Structure 1
Amino acid sequence: MTLKLSDLPEVSFTEKDINQILNDMISGYEQAYFEQTGQRKILRPGDPIRIFLYSQALREMQLRIMIEDAAKQNLLKYSRGDNLEGLAAFSRTERFQSAPSKVKMKFNLSMPRSTNEIINAGTRSSPGGEIYFIPTDDVIVPAGATEVEFTTECTQAGTIGNGFLPGQINILVDPLPWIESVENVEESQGGVDVESDESFSNRIHLAPEGFSSAGPTGAYEYFARQFSPLIQDILITSPNAGVVDIRVLLNNGELPSTTFLEDLDKHLSAKDKRPLTDNVQVGAPNTVTYDLDVIYYIRSSDADKEEEMKAKIESAIDDYVTWQRSKIGRDVNPSELMAQIVLAGGKRAEIPSPLFTVINDDEIAIVGIKTITYGGLE
Structure 2
Amino acid sequence: MQRFPDIPAPELVEVDSEASLARIRQQYYEKTGHYPDVNDPETFELEQLNYESNLLRDDINRSAQQNLLAYADGAMLDNVGLLVGATRLPASSASTPATVTLVTGHPDFVLAAGYNVLASDGQTSFVTTADYAFSASQTEGEITLVATDPGTAGNGFLPGEITQTVTPNDWIGAVSNTGTTQGGADTEDDDSFAERIFLAPGQFSVAGPYDAYKYWVLSASAAISDASVESPEPNDIVLCAVLEGGIIPDAPLKAVILETCSARDVRPLGDRVSIADPTAIETSGEIRVEVYKANASLANQIEDAVRQEADALAYKWSGKLGRDIVPQAFEAIGQKKSGVYRCTTTLAEQTLNNQQFPLITITAVDVVLVDEEEV
- TM-score normalised per structure 1: 0.85
Q: What do the CA deviations read for 1:108-127 (whole angstroms, capped 9, x no partner)? A: 3355x563333232111222
Q: 1:307: how far off?
A: 4.3
User: Is the 1:316–1:344 contact (alpha carbons within 8 Å) kept by the matching residues of 2?
Assistant: no
Q: 1:298: how far off?
A: 5.0
Q: 1:371 aligns with which of 332, 338, 363?
A: 363
1:302/1:364 CA distance change after superposition, 3 Å: same
User: Is the 2:92–2:221 contact (alpha carbons within 8 Å) kept by the matching residues of 1?
Assistant: no
Comparing 181-190 with 265-274, greater Cα deviation is found at 181-190
Cα root mean square deviation, aligned: 2.8
Q: What do the CA deviations read for 1:58-100 (whole angstroms, capped 9, x no partner)? A: 1211222222222223223222333333333333322222232
Question: How far apart, in 2, do the equivalents of 1:349 and 1:207 lie?
Answer: 41
Question: How far apart, in 1, do the equivalents of 2:15 and 2:28 lie?
Answer: 19
User: Is the 1:5–1:202 contact (alpha carbons within 8 Å) kept by the matching residues of 2?
Assistant: no
User: Counterpart of 2:16?
Assistant: 17
Q: What do the CA deviations read for 1:231-275 (whole angstroms, capped 9, x no partner)? A: 222211100111011111222333222221111111111111101
User: Counterpart of 1:29?
Assistant: 28
Q: 1:148 aligns with which of 125, 141, 146?
A: 141
User: Is the 2:286–2:366 contact (alpha carbons within 8 Å) kept by the matching residues of 1?
Assistant: no
Q: What do the CA deviations read for 1:288-314 (whole angstroms, capped 9, x no partner)? A: 222334455555445445544433232
In structure 1, the residue corresponding to 2:283 is in which secondary structure? strand
Comparing 68-77 with 341-350, greater Cα deviation is found at 341-350
1:82/1:290 CA distance change after superposition, 3 Å: closer
User: Is the 1:331–1:365 contact (alpha carbons within 8 Å) kept by the matching residues of 2?
Assistant: yes
1:32/1:360 CA distance change after superposition, 3 Å: same
Residue 276 of structure 2 is aligned to residue 277 of structure 1:
no
User: Is the 2:217–2:261 contact (alpha carbons within 8 Å) kept by the matching residues of 1?
Assistant: yes
The one-letter code of the counterpart of 2:261 is L
Q: 1:355 aligns with which of 343, 348, 372?
A: 348
User: Counterpart of 1:247?
Assistant: 240
Provide runs of 4+ in structure 1 moved above 6 Å.
Answer: none
Question: How far apart, in 1, do the equivalents of 2:281 and 2:323 lie?
Answer: 11
In structure 2, the residue corresponding to 1:357 is in which secondary structure? coil
User: Is the 2:117–2:163 contact (alpha carbons within 8 Å) kept by the matching residues of 1?
Assistant: yes
The one-letter code of the counterpart of 1:266 is E
Identity of aligned residues (%): 27
Q: 1:116 aligns with which of 101, 108, 132?
A: 108
User: Is the 1:214–1:273 contact (alpha carbons within 8 Å) kept by the matching residues of 2?
Assistant: no
Q: 1:180: how far off?
A: 4.0
What 5-or-longer segments of structure 1 have no aligned partner?
Answer: 34-39
User: Counterpart of 2:98?
Assistant: 105
User: Counterpart of 2:308?
Assistant: 315
User: Counterpart of 1:125?
Assistant: 117
When the two structures are aligned, how many residues end up with a matched partner?
Answer: 366
Q: 1:6: how far off?
A: 4.9
1:153/1:351 CA distance change after superposition, 3 Å: same
User: Is the 1:5–1:205 contact (alpha carbons within 8 Å) kept by the matching residues of 2?
Assistant: no
1:304/1:173 CA distance change after superposition, 3 Å: farther
User: Is the 2:241–2:278 contact (alpha carbons within 8 Å) kept by the matching residues of 1?
Assistant: yes
Q: What do the CA deviations read for 1:125-173 (whole angstroms, capped 9, x no partner)? A: 2222221111112212233333222222111122221222333223223
1:283/1:18 CA distance change after superposition, 3 Å: same
Q: 1:194 aligns with which of 179, 187, 190?
A: 187
The one-letter code of the counterpart of 1:52 is E
User: Counterpart of 1:36?
Assistant: none
The one-letter code of the counterpart of 1:118 is V
In structure 2, the residue corresponding to 1:10 is in which secondary structure? coil
Question: How far apart, in 1, do the equivalents of 2:355 and 2:246 lie?
Answer: 14
Question: How far apart, in 1, do the equivalents of 2:170 and 2:368 lie?
Answer: 60
1:340/1:116 CA distance change after superposition, 3 Å: farther
User: Is the 2:28–2:35 contact (alpha carbons within 8 Å) kept by the matching residues of 1?
Assistant: no
Question: How far apart, in 2, do the equivalents of 1:271 and 1:309 lie?
Answer: 55
User: Counterpart of 2:174?
Assistant: 181
User: Is the 1:213–1:219 contact (alpha carbons within 8 Å) kept by the matching residues of 2?
Assistant: no
Residue 11 of structure 2 is aligned to residue 8 of structure 1:
no
User: Is the 1:158–1:192 contact (alpha carbons within 8 Å) kept by the matching residues of 2?
Assistant: yes
User: Is the 1:99–1:193 contact (alpha carbons within 8 Å) kept by the matching residues of 2?
Assistant: yes
1:307/1:49 CA distance change after superposition, 3 Å: closer
The one-letter code of the counterpart of 2:102 is L
Question: How far apart, in 2, do the equivalents of 1:167 and 1:298 lie?
Answer: 47
The one-letter code of the counterpart of 2:165 is L
The one-letter code of the counterpart of 1:22 is L
In structure 1, the residue corresponding to 2:83 is in which secondary structure? helix
The one-letter code of the counterpart of 2:174 is S
Question: How far apart, in 2, do the equivalents of 1:311 and 1:279 lie?
Answer: 50
Residue 290 of structure 2 is aligned to residue 291 of structure 1:
no
1:181/1:373 CA distance change after superposition, 3 Å: farther
User: Is the 2:186–2:222 contact (alpha carbons within 8 Å) kept by the matching residues of 1?
Assistant: no
Question: How far apart, in 2, do the equivalents of 1:351 and 1:84 lie?
Answer: 40
Question: How far apart, in 2, do the equivalents of 1:117 and 1:347 lie?
Answer: 72
Q: What do the CA deviations read for 1:318-360 (whole angstroms, capped 9, x no partner)? A: 22422442322222222222222334666655644x3222323
